[in-house]
């Protein structure tokens, strides 16, 4: 696909993806004192007890203008498939005075990662309080773009309160060292803060030791699919169970559009996971 065609496709996908009305959650709950430390919960629409949990981490280059609202139709779709859904908000951008007025900044080190970890660890208590029909012991994590990076990182945590049974990255940023916005997220380049990248870069922390699905549009002009290919190769070499699916046509923002193939692939894979029995 030519650069011009890719840009046209990206524009069309963006318009389609953001055309869906926001779906209000059944309940929202704070996992910290900051306004962005909140989780939106969507109850399984079939009302079943012991429903598996899907943690959703939205994308948007870790930048503050992009929040969890644009991913709410996907959360609602999963709830209609019988899952209890936890859509996590986290701190993005920056509050440093010298950076105000210079445009949105990508992420905050270490707050962005601290928030995802805190949300995951608060999940059992919050589910017991607000959604007792769900079973946090049966949890899958998914995320789009920057949220895919956070999902892969969250799945790799070995000391978390929630056992993760699988992770799905949709057009995920699998290599922080090749993502320009990651320099702001990490507070420096790989040469300047290598220890941070070593802790958080998905390709550097394999094996994740959970089943992995990567859905990455073959025509993605924002996060090239070759990065997911390299991650899949590295993860398999480390012993991980990895499936990579490349929908075509498919660009970066098709992954948050309910009319896309990418949406259905992710939902079907999550539904097919052999999760621990309740």
CATH of the domain at 254: 3.40.50.1820
Residue 188 is assigned to a structural domain of this protein: yes
What is the model's pLDDT at position 13?
Answer: 59
Residue 278 is assigned to a structural domain of this protein: no
79 within 8 A of 27, measured Cβ to Cβ: no
Q: By three-state DSSP, how is residue 28 classified?
A: strand
DSSP 98-129: GGTTS---B--TTHHHHHHHHHHHHHHHHHHH
Burial class (CB in 10 A: 0-12, 13-18, 19+), 249: middle
Residue 165 is assigned to a structural domain of this protein: yes
Phi, psi of 242 (to 5 degrees): -125, 130
pLDDT of residue 273 exceeding 90, the answer is: no
| pLDDT grade for 47, boundaries at 50, 70 and 90 | confident
Residue 233 is assigned to a structural domain of this protein: yes
More confident residue, 5 or 50: 50
Task: Please enumerate in sequence order all residues whose Cβ is within 8 A of that of 105, keeping only pairs 6 or more positions apart, or say none.
Answer: 63, 64, 93, 94, 96, 99, 184
> What range does the domain containing 257 cover?
3-272
pLDDT tens-digit readout, 199-258:
999 999 999 999 999 999 988 889 999 999 999 999 999 999 999 999 887 778 777 777
Beta bridge partners of 62: none
176 within 8 A of 200, measured Cβ to Cβ: yes
pLDDT of residue 167 exceeding 80, the answer is: yes
Residue 277 is assigned to a structural domain of this protein: no
Phi, psi of 18 (to 5 degrees): -95, 10
pLDDT tens-digit readout, 190-211:
999 999 999 999 999 999 999 9
Distance CA 113, CA 73 (A): 24
Residue with tokens 């859904």: 85
Residue 90 is assigned to a structural domain of this protein: yes
Mean pLDDT estimate for the chain: 88
| pLDDT grade for 96, boundaries at 50, 70 and 90 | very low
In the chain, pLDDT over 70 holds for what percent of residues? Answer: 87
265 within 8 A of 180, measured Cβ to Cβ: no
Distance CA 195, CA 109 (A): 13
Q: How many domains does the chain have?
A: 1
| pLDDT grade for 4, boundaries at 50, 70 and 90 | low
Task: Please enumerate in sequence order all residues whose Cβ is within 8 A of that of 55, keeping only pairs 6 or more positions apart, or say none.
Answer: 86, 88, 119, 120, 123, 139, 140, 141, 142, 151, 154, 162
Phi, psi of 61 (to 5 degrees): 60, 30
pLDDT tens-digit readout, 107-150:
789 999 999 999 999 999 999 999 998 988 889 999 999 999 99
């Amino acid at each position: 696909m030519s650069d011009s065609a890719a840009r046209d496709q990206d524009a069309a996908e963006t318009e389609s993806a953001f055309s869906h009305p926001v779906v209000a959650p059944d309940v929202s709950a704070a996992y910290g004192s900051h306004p962005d430390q909140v989780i939106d919960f969507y109850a399984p629409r079939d009302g079943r007890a012991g429903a598996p949990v899907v943690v959703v981490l939205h994308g948007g280059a870790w930048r503050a203008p992009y929040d969890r609202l644009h991913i709410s139709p996907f959360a609602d779709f999963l709830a209609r498939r019988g899952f209890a859904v936890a859509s996590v908000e986290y701190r993005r951008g920056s509050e440093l005075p010298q950076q105000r007025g210079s445009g949105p900044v990508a992420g905050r080190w270490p707050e962005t990662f601290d928030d995802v970890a805190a949300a995951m660890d608060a999940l059992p208590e919050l589910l017991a309080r607000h959604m007792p029909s769900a079973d946090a012991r049966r949890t899958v994590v998914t995320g789009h773009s920057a949220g895919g990076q956070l999902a892969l990182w969250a799945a790799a945590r070995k000391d978390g309160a929630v056992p993760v049974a699988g992770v799905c990255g949709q057009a995920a940023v699998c290599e922080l060292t090749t993502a320009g916005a990651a320099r702001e997220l990490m507070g420096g380049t790989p040469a300047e803060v290598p220890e941070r990248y070593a802790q958080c870069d998905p390709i550097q922390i394999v094996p994740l030791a959970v089943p992995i699905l990567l859905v990455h549009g073959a025509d993605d002009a924002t996060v090239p699919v070759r990065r997911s290919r390299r991650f899949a190769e590295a993860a398999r070499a480390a012993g991980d169970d990895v499936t990579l699916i490349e929908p075509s046509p498919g660009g970066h923002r098709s992954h948050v559009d309910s009319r896309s193939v990418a949406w259905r692939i992710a939902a079907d894979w999550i539904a097919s996971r052999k999760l621990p029995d309740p």
